[in-house]
Structure 1
Amino acid sequence: MKIKVLLLLVCFTLAFNTYAVTEENNITNTMIKNDSLLRHAVFFKFKEGTTAEQIKKVEDAFSALPSKIEQIKGYEWGLNNSPEGLNKGFTHAFFLTFKSEEDRAIYLPHPDHKAFGAILTPYLDDVFVLDYWTK
């Protein structure tokens, strides 16, 4: 009789823990989806010989995108000033914020984004892009 009760108690405990872990995962996933933001981080390395005026043209064109593409919910940019010397020639960092992957999917092929690419391309040596959900 004690073995049956003990076995029943173990089964109940396992079932409860499985439910609790599943519920915790659901709550965590919901929080990430509802409370996170999608960041689109873009880093530029310009071709040698690109002038300050040409770089300014690129900066201005990128900075104009949030006023043209409503899916961009946040925007900031800056120049590398790390003393570590590990930037591998990348000088410019741009961070765009989206509320969803669907918003990013609208942004990527957007005509204004494509037009910006046409301004950038003649001066671009390399680009590095990383997208992530904030935690």
Structure 2
Amino acid sequence: MEEAKGLVKHMLLARFKDEVQSEEIDQLIKGYANLVNLVEPMKGRAVSIENLHQGFTHIFESTFESTEGVAEYIAHPAHVEFANLFLSHLDKVLLIDYKPTTLRS
């Protein structure tokens, strides 16, 4: 399955619920960033950017060596536990997995 090979970007766009305090958001961002230490195929890091279109306020991007790595991450107990907590704090979420391409000039 050739499509499964090569880097995969896993990008989650999030809007936290209005009632979630900034301190909670900071802790959730740190928790997401720590997943890279717990889930071996995860290569990325958390990035927070405010004022995105359509009300999204944060981007969380991770990099994996393959789609199999993404599947391992999704099923990993550390991710499952964190995702249950994290998603309960979100008002809006969009998740995209994609293979980056190199633009040629």
Higher strand share: 2
Partner of 2:74: 108
Q: 2:60 pairs with 84, 87, 94, which one? A: 94
* Structure with bigger gyration radius: 1
Among residues 68, 78, 83, which one is paired with 1:117 in the alignment?
Answer: 83
* Partners of 1:95 and 1:120 in 2: CA distance: 15
Matched to 2:33, the amino acid is S
**Residues paired across the two proteins, number:** 99
**Regions of 4+ moved over 6 Å:** none
Two-structure CA RMSD over aligned residues (Å): 1.8
SS where residue 37 of structure 1 aligns?
strand
Give the aligned residue type for 2:90. L
Q: Which has the higher helix share?
A: 1
Higher relative contact order (CA 8 A, sep 6+): 2
1:78 positional shift: 2.1
- Preserved CA contact (<8 Å) 2:32 2:46: no
TM superposition shift of 1:88 = 1.4
TM-score normalised per structure 1: 0.66
Uncovered stretches (5+) of structure 2, i.e. residues with no partner: none
Q: TM-score, normalised by structure 2?
A: 0.84
Gaps of 5+ in 1: 1-28
**Percent identical:** 32
